[in-house]
Amino acid sequence: MNRPRVVCLGRKAAQRGMTLVELVITIVVLGIASAAMFSAMAAITGRSADPMLRQQSLAIAEAYMEEITLQAFPATTPCAASHDGAGRSSFDDLCDYNGLFYVNQPFAPRSAGSVTPLTGLEDYQVTVAVVPAQLNDSDALRITVTVRDPAGQLLSLDGYRAAY
């Protein structure tokens, strides 16, 4: 039972390269992928100032927190609401900072090393609240410094100061 050998004359040799249809599909897929990548990069670049605003807010909040916690513990608590930041040079205890609201003023650190206002930070708003708290059966004050950056984002920093 020998079978006759059938030879196909129309049979193509192994295909090499790409067809025009495959090439067009590849170009379309790469175009869609690059458009998505460029739109994502544009969104990221548009918000690139946010980390800088956040870092400046954090630096301002930390400076206020350090300034406040270095003050003397008040003789009596709870603290009455204080006035704006205009008289900060006369603040002598933690309660003086309660209700502090600083807006549209250059940020002026209150330290022996520098009292020069830092220009460019006028658009940041600082609010301070000092409220009584209990820590391990000891009288303490909870200090909350809230900073609003020029974009309107809030950053709050909390700290505690206990009586000795």
Q: For each of the chain's 164 residues, which pLDDT tens digit applies?
A: 566 665 555 555 566 788 899 999 999 999 999 999 999 888 777 666 678 888 889 999 998 999 889 888 887 777 777 655 556 777 888 888 888 888 777 666 665 455 566 777 888 899 999 998 888 888 889 999 999 998 899 999 999 998 87
Given strand 101-102, what is the order of strands in its sheet?
101-102, 125-135, 138-148, 154-162
Nearest to 144 by CA among 133, 131, 129: 129
Q: How many CB atoms lie within 10 A of CB 114?
A: 10
Instruction: Kindly state the DSSP code that residue 17 receives in the 8-state scheme.
Output: S
Instruction: Kindly state the DSSP code that residue 101 receives in the 8-state scheme.
Output: E
- The model's pTM is 0.65
